[in-house]
Structure 1
Amino acid sequence: MTRGTRIDGIAAGRLEAEQYTQNFGDLYTPLDRHEAQVASDRCYFCYDAPCVTACPTTIDIPLFIRQIATDTPEAAAKTIFNQNILGGMCARVCPTEQLCEEACVREAAEGKPVQIGLLQRYATDTLMGRDTHPFTRAATTGKTVAVVGAGPAGLSAAHRLAMHGHDVTLYDARPKPGGLNEYGIAAYKTPEDFAQAEVDWLMKIGGITFKHDQKLGAEIALDSLADQHDAVFLAIGLSGVNALGAQGDTLENVTDAVRFIDALRQSDKSAVPVGRNVVVIGGGMTAVDAAVQSRLLGAENVSMVYRRDQSRMSASTKEQDHAAHEGVRLIFNAQPVAVHGSGAAQQVEFEYTVDGPGGLTGTGETFQLPADQVLVAIGQTLGAVSVDLDGRKIAVTGAGRTSRDGVWAGGDCAAGGDDLTVTAVAEGRDAAEDIHAYLSA
């Protein structure tokens, strides 16, 4: 172990160079051709397959697995991409254990589902490795569409609209496209810059112009976009983060987990500071990714604290198990009371909770955890937008229609769906089809 530059009690460069490469390598070993054929042979190729119903993008899973079984992975990939143009990323990050694989008949019968996620990765990686694109763009319609947000929903919509012949301008507040896939997913899930490789591949359809550093409400406005384009699709995600709201939450080294993950994705791992004692507050996928990566950076003690019981966590059981395997301590039924320290965080005080009929209540019993770094992952918020809201998100009807004519929304910014990459892709695709029908009327 090496000692790096110290920054307010936390440090960068805690590990040897080769350790970073090992720690942040591919989380799951991809299947080779023989392994894929063996895995595909386990599929019953069910009629009215429950795995298809469980997939938010309704990929014909039995068909693509049969195509792998007959040694035509490119055809399998086309089947996947017909429904989910980001099928490569979804194969890596989708919680298949809660969706298609949980619904698999083999899971019900044997407790061991068909490896749908790994088979999807095998097929999509095979086709994406070819210097081709599986779709051809239709003749230009002369219609233009603004897609605001280059994350999963925006990319999915942009590709489908371009395929129909519309000219798409894709705006994003960040320097690079990809959204969550580029900035918000653990580095070990998508190594070798896969998110950008996937965007480059997707853009081969043509008809999509990307404009970076264009934030809605700053460099661009919804009114002007609506005037300049025939339709607008909002896929702006959730740009704000919920504050901890506890005493001491403004101390140094108390930061949101999203920013921490962003730094890991965009920097040399050895340059990202991490504490020796890290406390992550939250119970979702962002919390797990922050906690696990803190360990992979060399943190000695990492605790992930969630205010409700384990069954209420939004992170999947598989992700929780992975965190525990990496040495993360999982603590449930505890809510933050205060962060203590002189200038910088040194300790977090928690109160035990009970989740009863009247909601979440504190018991009055407290405990403390040492913490030189506190990462907050308790949800994100929508920025200002001039359309009707449903709670804290954009109100939509049908395939993403907002209260404003000619404006659609999808992905995390829109009300109704699960906050999953695969759900965002489905909403972007469906909104694009509805926009196409609207523009063709």
Structure 2
Amino acid sequence: MDRLGNGIEAGRLTPAEYDSNFTDLHPRLDRHEALVASDRCYFCYDAPCMTACPTSIDIPLFIRQISTGNALGSAKTIFDQNILGGMCARVCPTETLCEQACVRNTAEDKPVEIGKLQRYATDMAMEQGRQFYSRKTPTGKTVAVVGAGPAGLAAAHRLAMHGHSAVILEAREKSGGLNEYGIATYKAVDNFAQREVDYVTAIGGIEIRNGQALGRDFSLSDLTTKYDAVLLAMGLAGVNGLGVEGEELEGVVDAVDFIAALRQSADRSVVPIGRRVVVLGGGMTAIDAAIQSKLLGAEEVTICYRRGKENMNASPYEQDLAAASGVIIRHWLAPKTIIGKDGKVAGIEVEYTAMRDGQLVGTGETGVIAADQVMKAIGQNFSASGLGALQFEKGKIAVDPEGHTSVEGVWAAGDCIGLGEDLTVSAVAQGRDAAESINRAFAAGARPATAVA
């Protein structure tokens, strides 16, 4: 084993164990399974599942198409609204969106497996290289898109459909954003994120320039003077700190960095993990980091969340998945001090919390959890570098419902804005809709007036 710290080691498992642990979480349905699953749909006239989908995919239609053996037609129905439907089928919390709204979701029955059916159809189309869209006659308009994540890719594809050109400026070496760097490895195997980028950009008219960071290599004013329009879709780059003693100790890591490193590693055995890991947070990042810590061979993994189970941002399904993977989830605990020994993590002191008069407070009662690695998963924040006089609201870019910012000719979409939930599917919808707004502005022959007060 490669020992990197006090109990933090790489190579805890055998090659076979790594392969087994990081296989596809939900393998794709085969044709028979897809036909059986699609036959359970009632094809409701009011389609509550469709209303619950942020991208408004016509779910009853695409399921009916699968049931009649038309998988490619089903894929087109999905891609009409969500060009990143393949990844969304893998990572969307369908159990709290479309499947929760399914009329079959009762105590006596289970919902239609919408997510799995969506993956079945989109995978079939992508594997066959079927492109359903082509560029209209080039308009001569070029849009700068900052960020090659879900929002930026969806916007670029929709702009290309309308005949415009899109230049995507991406800070990282690879495109895909959250889909490439922030998703649990077992949810998107076989380099799917990059294959989806290739599928999206195959329409033409989209250029991606990697290694280009806003605030370092260019500013917003640079873009507004050079391009016909600008779409900001850079996501959230910063990580919130704990603000407690011991945060600088060896063995304290950001969960997002841990997840990214694991996704970019071709050999899981070189990724170090502690023997006893504590993850701080209650969202999907915390769950993904905790489960993958177990899969890498950590003996004891504990999630500490400062509020109750019902307050966790992670869905009940994901919480149950973590518990089934051997993760211990403890509620009503807040970090107080990270305990060190010889400059390395040895444990964490936590304080019990409670709700009093509508406020979360510490009770004064404390305890210690032994740990050699602590992962911070308490949220990300937005970096405003290079954005000039752009207006913000609650730490994110202020926009109107169409994505207009306070600067003329500049739109924004995805996690960097304050609308909607920080979900891949929401980012896709916002990027798509912002692109349609840009297209309407081009068609009107002028940039829209400033829309944000």
TM-score range, shorter chain: over 0.9
1:428 has 2:426 as partner: no
What do the CA deviations read for 1:207-256 (whole angstroms, capped 9, x no partner)?
Answer: 00000011100011110011110000000111000001111111111011
Residue in 2 aligned with 1:311? 310
Quote the Cα distance in structure 2 between the aligned partners of 1:236 and 1:365: 41
Q: Describe how 1:381-396 pairs up with structure 2 within 5 A.
A: 381-384=381-384, 385-386=387-388, 387-396=390-399
Residue in 2 aligned with 1:105? 103
Q: Is the CA contact (8 Å cut-off) linking 1:101 and 1:114 kept in structure 2?
A: yes
Cα deviation, residue 30, structure 1 = 1.4
Cα deviation, residue 309, structure 1 = 0.4
What do the CA deviations read for 1:124-176 (whole angstroms, capped 9, x no partner)?
Answer: 00111112311111110000000000001011001100111101000111001
Residue in 2 aligned with 1:262? 260
Residue in 2 aligned with 1:134? 132
Residue in 1 aligned with 2:296? 297
Partner SS state of residue 112, structure 1: coil
What do the CA deviations read for 1:356-405 (whole angstroms, capped 9, x no partner)?
Answer: 33411000111111111100000101001331001111100021110001
AA partner of residue 280 (structure 1): V
Quote the Cα distance in structure 1 between the aligned partners of 2:63 and 2:358: 48
What do the CA deviations read for 1:64-97 (whole angstroms, capped 9, x no partner)?
Answer: 0000000000000000000000000000000000
- 1:96 aligned to 94, 99, 110, which one? 94
Partner SS state of residue 202, structure 2: helix
Quote the Cα distance in structure 2 between the aligned partners of 1:109 and 1:303: 31
- 1:31 aligned to 26, 29, 32, which one? 29
AA partner of residue 277 (structure 1): R
Quote the Cα distance in structure 1 between the aligned partners of 2:439 and 2:318: 38
Quote the Cα distance in structure 1 between the aligned partners of 2:2 and 2:253: 20
Partner SS state of residue 106, structure 1: coil
Q: Describe how 1:24-423 pairs up with structure 2 within 5 A.
A: 24-108=22-106, 110-267=108-265, 268-342=267-341, 343-384=343-384, 385-386=387-388, 387-423=390-426
Quote the Cα distance in structure 1 between the aligned partners of 2:92 and 2:441: 31
Quote the Cα distance in structure 2 between the aligned partners of 1:426 and 1:66: 23
Instruction: Tell which deviates more after alignment, 306-315 or 124-133.
Output: 124-133
Q: Is the CA contact (8 Å cut-off) linking 1:5 and 1:13 kept in structure 2?
A: no
What do the CA deviations read for 1:19-60 (whole angstroms, capped 9, x no partner)?
Answer: 111100000121100110011110000101100000000000
Q: Is the CA contact (8 Å cut-off) linking 1:146 and 1:229 kept in structure 2?
A: yes
Residue in 2 aligned with 1:18? 16
Q: Is the CA contact (8 Å cut-off) linking 1:240 and 1:383 kept in structure 2?
A: yes
> Kindly, what percent of the aligned residue pairs are identical?
60
Partner SS state of residue 133, structure 1: coil
Where do 5+ consecutive residues of structure 1 fail to align?
Answer: none
Residue in 1 aligned with 2:451? none
What do the CA deviations read for 1:260-280 (whole angstroms, capped 9, x no partner)?
Answer: 001001112111110000000
TM-score when scaled to structure 2? 0.96
**How large is the Cα RMSD of the aligned pairs?**
0.9
Quote the Cα distance in structure 1 between the aligned partners of 2:357 and 2:57: 39
What do the CA deviations read for 1:104-134 (whole angstroms, capped 9, x no partner)?
Answer: 0111474300010000000000111112311
Partner SS state of residue 344, structure 2: coil
AA partner of residue 258 (structure 2): F
Q: Is the CA contact (8 Å cut-off) linking 1:7 and 1:273 kept in structure 2?
A: no
Cα deviation, residue 440, structure 1 = 1.4
Q: Is the CA contact (8 Å cut-off) linking 1:91 and 1:120 kept in structure 2?
A: yes
Partner SS state of residue 107, structure 1: coil
AA partner of residue 397 (structure 2): I
Q: Is the CA contact (8 Å cut-off) linking 2:5 and 2:251 kept in structure 1?
A: no
Would you say how many aligned residue pairs link Structure 1 and Structure 2? 439
